[in-house]
Amino acid sequence: MKRILLFLATNLAVIVVLSIVWMIVSSVFGLGSTMDYQGGGINYGATMVFAAIFGFGGALISLLMSKWIAKVSVGAQVIENPRNEVERWLVETVKRQAREAGIGMPEVAIYDSPEINAFATGANRNAALVAVSTGLLHNMSRDEVEAVLGHEVGHIANGDMVTLTLIQGVVNTFVIFFARLVGYFVDRMILKNEEGPGIGFFVTTIVAEIVFGILASAIVMWFSRQREFRADAAGARLAGREKMIAALERLKLNEQVREELPAQMTAFGIAGARGGGLLKKLFMSHPPLEERIDALRRGTYLHHGM
């Protein structure tokens, strides 16, 4: 329930902020209404700016808030002063890997969960966050944990969070833009409404955004899967290939009993969501574990990324 309320509150706040930004930009630059049924129909310039503000704006705000959202949603506790040997080892391992990867020292956190998972997030590669679950620490060997940490540091070093945000912003912008064009066409040309955007426009726009959003998600998830291969390769370089393979095999052993991160954090986890058929694989943020293990064994992707 806490996660749901946080998700709803955050999205509501983002919509309010972006609405204010749109009103200010529209007023300052004299963009006018996006739809003017009496004066020519679609204002393409205003519609594109509107789409960019809500498409890119939402993605960028989510990125800027990602560390805070991650900490609150899973209850991650940042290690300020290591209290025991395990915490000291975690901090020292991440510090060493960050130095080798050429990035600033990330915050290191632990969150209480029986799942075997970890994630990295943050808008700045020199001020990111790496978090591991208690389940991962209890069920993996140190070699395997080291590889997982290397994987997450690899995500940061490769700039995956920023790149994924930019891609999401681009597709969001085009989804909003073309959905509004379809809404206008149906409302004005098919329903013959000449009084201004009506119920036909709003219903059609929502349906079009859903359809285009699903198609766009396949593009974003394809990139997300590629970055997982590169992060695995980074983990292999920072900790050793056999350690990275062993970590993925451990995840595969526990795949059937593994819980998943909150929806907004799934793409940043080491394991990702489980998939079934071909259609579902198109929308998976992570490749199947067997494919990732095979790529490491064959040496694929080892020359890419960090």
Encode the chain (306 residues) as per-residue pLDDT tens digits.
667 787 788 888 889 999 999 999 999 988 888 877 666 678 899 999 999 999 999 999 999 999 999 999 899 999 999 999 999 999 999 999 999 999 999 999 999 999 899 999 999 999 999 999 999 999 999 999 999 999 999 999 999 999 999 999 999 999 999 999 999 999 988 888 877 788 999 999 999 999 999 999 999 999 999 999 999 999 999 999 999 999 999 998 887 545 556 655 666 677 765 555 667 788 898 999 999 999 999 987 766 656
**What are the residues whose beta carbons fall under 8 Å from the beta carbon of 261, sequence distance 6 or more?**
74, 115, 117, 119, 268, 269
pLDDT at 8: 82
pLDDT at 91: 98
User: Strands across the sheet with 129-133, in order?
Assistant: 77-78, 107-111, 129-133, 118-121
Looking at the annotation, which residues are catalytic? Answer: 152
**What are the residues whose beta carbons fall under 8 Å from the beta carbon of 251, sequence distance 6 or more?**
116, 258, 270, 271, 289
CA of residue 27 relative to chain centroid, distance = 32
pLDDT at 97: 98
pLDDT at 191: 87
Closest CA to 56 of 148, 132, 166: 166
**What are the residues whose beta carbons fall under 8 Å from the beta carbon of 136, sequence distance 6 or more?**
115, 116, 117, 118, 145, 148, 270
Tokens of 139: 């069920």
pLDDT at 83: 95
- CA–CA distance, 112 with 234 (Å, rounded to integer): 26
Q: Which residues, in sequence order, are bridge partners of residue 111?
A: 133
pLDDT at 272: 63
**CA separation, residue 115 to residues 23, 72, 76, 142, 306 (Å):** 44, 17, 14, 17, 28
pLDDT at 38: 61
pTM, full prediction: 0.88
pLDDT at 30: 87
